[in-house]
Structure 1
Amino acid sequence: MKPRTLLLPAATLAVAALLSGCAMGGGPTTAPIVLDPDAKVSGEITVWSWDVAATALERLAADFEADHPDTTVKVVDVGYDNAYDKLSVGLQAGSGLPDVVTIETDRAPGYINEFPTGLVDLTPVLGDDEADFDPFKWSAQSDSDGALKIAPWDSGTVGLFYRSDYFADAGIDPASIETWDELVAAGETIKAATGHTLLSLDVATGAGFQMLLQQQGQGLFDDDGDITITSPEAVEVLTLLQTMNEKGLLKNVKGWDGRVTSAKDGDSAVTPEAVWWIGTLLGDAPELSGTYGVTELPAFGEGGVRTSNSGGSGLAVPAQAENPHLAAAFVDYVLADADRQASMMEQEGLFPSYLPALQGDYFREPQEYFGGQPVYELFAEQTANIPPITFTTDNAEASDIVANAVVAAVLNGADPATALQDAAEQIATATGREIAE
């Protein structure tokens, strides 16, 4: 997470640190808490979050207290750097955690699987609203039995940000591009006309590969927990990235700062990224106002999915919460309400996972930075189309191995299918999992 936003691509949120300083396991076992959605609530709860997320929760906490007499909600900004260390230690020890905690989506499966009794099942409170939430987020934040352990909050719906001036100089209409092959061809024309590459990417993280793999409806593992990266879809994604580099259309940058600097410098024509990139552009590159537009991701084939996910978060109630019913009521209050979710978008830039919120007028308003285009409307329309994928406790280790395969193919010219087969075998050896047939 950067100071400006709760959302960041999964690869930058090193899940490998998930259990640092802790032994593997589930902490002390206690009888599970069964929530009563009709319970009368009172008393006090403490909520952990950080940055703009904490700001949003603190603002809404005042409204909740006004609507629920005899309640107090204390929001603590624990800071991003400390949040997960505190959460992991607290879950392992079975003590020391507050009533509500913020957990990012890419980290959710690790906590859910490693601490199966550590988080309260929120289904009794939010289950009737399942169809109203981003299906990817609901799936990723539920356990194998379908119990919702982390309520969906904000989504990292992905679109294609593009430099409208570069496309105009090359005589290309961005709306005419429907597939990745067509975008690569456009990239060659744009480079010839303007000298700019097609896109900038931190190849070493493998983040672009996983984003595009999810667009294909796949993660690193399937529903059985088997390794899927040798699939034709995975090979197609890695081949695409390799092709762009071989054609001189890809600028390799290092880390978050490298990506932001590359955007400010105008190195490349497009950025496939989540809705939170809007906040990055507004904050770090205000001078580029009027030069950007947004469209859907190109599809891998005619009629294919044209979005993916990169980032997002949710709210969870630890099993050790002193006031779990009040905690669940607060989670329901802030997340399962269209007006309150929309307010967090307008005031704190948190893009809703709650689909009814996306019908609000704000998401259809023209945005001056993007030449008057109502860019949030595009993301609102695409959120429900994000393909759900499976996460496992081995996603962190697998991500590191896959990143090496991406470097081998994209930067060093290795055959994509061979690089992914080698990576799959390494993952299998490291995790004991099977490679999907």
Structure 2
Amino acid sequence: MRFDEAFLRNKRQAKKDKEPTPPLLSDTQEIPRALLNPTDKINLCVAEAVDFWNNHILTTNVPAHLPFQRKKHEAKFQVGVPGVLQHLFLVSTWTIWITKSGSDPLRNRTLCQSRGLAFRGLNRMLSTAVTDVSGYALACTIMALMADFGLSQAQAWEFHLDAVRKIVQCRGGFQACMAELPDMRQLFLTFLVLDVLTAAFRETSRLGAETVATQAEYVALLPNIEQQLVLNGDPGPQVLLQAIVQVTALRIEIRRSSTERRCKVSTLSRAGELYHQIRRFDPQAWAVQVVIYGRTRPEHLGEQPSEQSLAAWSTLALCYQSAALLYLLLSVPTGHQQAVTAMMIAQAESALASEINAIFALADPDPDAAVGTQLWKFTNWPLLISLRTRQAAVCNTGDVRECLARLEEIAVATGIRSWLAIGIDMILR
């Protein structure tokens, strides 16, 4: 049985058994009052969206058990917060829900109209994005990015990523923004992970100076925020996230060298250093460390995690390790060592497929099941890295249409169609 067949079959059955079944939305069917008249009584609209987020989105996106923390939003916005920020939260909430229902948000006329209102308001605020002491315009831009998660067009997502990078650099850099706007820390952490992982799929010609400058700050920052990333629902090993940032920088350096018709020895040497850095990562040690995050009381610290939980976390770490190796190997010029590199790529592909297989073998569609059975939600990036060679476990039949259909189901399950759009682009490229 293919790695995702059992999981997707169980998920389909769970949808049939669970009431109420997520609706397939038409233009007006099952749309909340907030979207039908988004300019009227905005606070009530947001209260409805916040309540829905807490009861439907949060409970399915974030595992119920430690180390994750389900921090519920409150339907209370500070006095003076622009309505556009509130409205973007509403739009992002219902975009994710419509995606999880199996529909494409861009096909829903009412939601598109609401998006139009939100983004027109955002455009009027952008002129103050650099000088605004409150950071509202920057917060709105990140919220616009979150509203794009469920879209089937990666271009919209990347557009807002670029916009955030430019604003951040004009405000003095990522760490300066984190220090000046502590209330936005959770938004910044979400942006950081998306920035690091999305850059791995972009052509180097599209990675501008803002990308390079922003990501360079992450290398020094990541060792100090790993626990916060895990608690925030972004459990990527910081050592490997650092390596991914450095591989992206290496890709840019290689491109510059190729335009100058030379490839520096130092570039290849740096690739070798990164290879050994990734290989030295210890998935088991990381798993032991991560399972204690979120535990503050002594009796919790004394609890021993189950072997299944440790094995699941270790496997997730191995997924990231193999994906990082594959990303590096696909990024460096082969030269006279082409045969050796091809063999190493094949080994990394095989390991990654096996590890993804193991993660999905544990998968449980019940969001309140054991945490080890929920880690499939964090495999989007390793899955897409494996697609770069068109050898992903999800595509091992060679049938492109079947591969796209399976990616569609995984994208709907995670609520993120933008990843699917990137995967389709790589398969059809």
Confirm or deny a common fold (TM above 0.5). no
RCO higher in 1 or 2 (8 Å CA, sep ≥ 6)? 1
Which structure shows the higher helix fraction? 2
Q: TM-score, normalised by structure 2?
A: 0.28
Q: TM-score, normalised by structure 1?
A: 0.28
